[in-house]
Amino acid sequence: MSERLEMATFAGGCFWCMVQPFDEIPGIENIVSGYSGGHIINPTYEDVKSGQSGHYEVVQITYNPSKFPYEQLLELYWPQIDPTDDGGQFQDRGDSYRTAIFYHNNHQKELAEKTKAAIADSGRFHKPIVTKILPAKPFYPAEEYHQDFYKKSPKEYKEDRKKSGRDEFINKKWR
């Protein structure tokens, strides 16, 4: 008997940093780095990085909601980002690095909006929460060298992540 799997799509800045927090968790079946939200079919990394394609760097997560509900995915997502920054994330600047939750159904939309409102009301941030909640758009997997980058190139990943300031922000604002 096969269990029903669902998709979740999150933009949180550089997709290299968005895979590891979700990886190797029971109920999460697959994580693919890619592009969504733009107007070019089958964009390349260069198309996206140029800012001309309109795409976000995203991770698309295949998960089993009976083992790992969407609410828990959101609980993992929000503390990975600065939801007040509409110009990118940390050292990565530009539209492709903005944050967004791409919902695949009304249930996901409602939960995303609810958690966004709770964060806005929490007083944790002194600026508005600008993370967009958008309907899912076509998803295009990134080039193979971007997949599981933190595993393939651990030294470069750690250096880039440290240089980005992401972990300092997470520890200051979310812990």
What crossing angle do the helices spanning 154-164 and 166-173 adopt, rounded to 10°? 60
Q: What contacts 156, CB < 8 A, 6 or more positions away?
A: 149
Q: How many CB atoms lie within 10 A of CB 33?
A: 23
Q: Identity (one letter) of the amino acid at 143?
A: E
Q: Distance (Å, rounded) from C-alpha 29 to C-alpha 160? A: 26
Q: Cα torsion at 41, 94, 46, 142 (round to 10°)? A: -60
The residue from 8, 14, 28, 61 that is catalytic is 14
Catalytic site includes residue 17:
no
What residues are annotated to the active site?
14
